[in-house]
Amino acid sequence: MRARIEEIVFDCAEPLPLARFWSALLGGEAVERSADWAYVDPPEFVRVAFQRVPEGKAAKNRLHLDLAAGDVDAAAAEAARYGATLVGGVVMDDYGRFQVVRDPEGNEFCFVGD
């Protein structure tokens, strides 16, 4: 049996505000399905959902998203205006440039250069 990714779900404290943050980054509309569940269906990405959980984030993500950005610095600056936190500076390695970022609830993701 082969499966496909239907959506990526983040545990969080406040689903709708987090969906709005990700909507600003990825496009699409933030939708509140219930008080405990919200999502965004970006036009060029799998659905990203946010589920309320009682416990807070206690450790580094075991999974993170890499988002392609033509201009890593500009993408990171825009995310910061929406409430993200930059983690360190832009890194340059053998594979290109990337910037680690945390969304408003501390979930890490990266902007990677095209």
Report phi then psi at 16, rounded to 5: -65, -45
pLDDT of 21-34, one tens digit each?
999 999 999 999 99
pLDDT of 91-112, one tens digit each?
998 888 999 999 999 999 999 9
Contact of 82 with 36, CB cutoff 8 Å: no
Q: What integer pLDDT is reported at residue 11 of this predicted model?
A: 93
Q: Would the pTM of this model clear 0.85, i.e. be above it?
A: yes
More confident residue, 16 or 5: 16
